Structure 1
Amino acid sequence: MRTILILLACLLMSACGKQAVRPDAIPQAKDLLPVYIPTYVPIREELRQRCTWKKACRPSEGVDCAKQRGDCLGQYERQLDGIDAIQGKPVPR
């Protein structure tokens, strides 16, 4: 009886091993998702310089202070344009 059970178990186990091995399915192009990887872009030092102006002025120096602030604003906008040219546009989500 024991021999019959062992032979039956061997027969069943050998039948399982004869199944065809299916290779891993290769994903189709429609199943792939684009992955955006953010990268560090070094920014030159001249594009990171700060502009200085008087924080507080006397009323008689108001026009000069406003001109300094306007010049700094123009400098910052030129620097940001330079950074955008190096860095590119943000990745759409």
Structure 2
Amino acid sequence: MQVKCYIEEYENREGRPSARLREKASGRKVDIGLADVEDRQAFLRFLGGAARNRAVMPGVFLRESEEDCVLVNGELDFDAPDELRFLNNSRLSYIFA
């Protein structure tokens, strides 16, 4: 499955800035199943790259924009009305598009 996502910035429970992916079409949360610490750190660096380049690709932070997105490809673990969860396996990928 392939999903176009935007990055939602929010404040976490500890009051710190955080970010997560949401599907552009529906707004539902997109979980890419990162349980491994190294995988999570790589994903956080990826999100940090978007924040540093916001002027170049502002649409990656906007649900309504068709210009920029995070394109997630992979196999679904489950598909619910409020969340998509991908399996973290060799078919999982995410890129700026």
* TM bin (shorter chain): under 0.3
Give TM-score scaled by structure 2 length. 0.22
**Richer in helix (by share):** 1
Q: Which has the larger radius of gyration?
A: 1
Give TM-score scaled by structure 1 length. 0.23
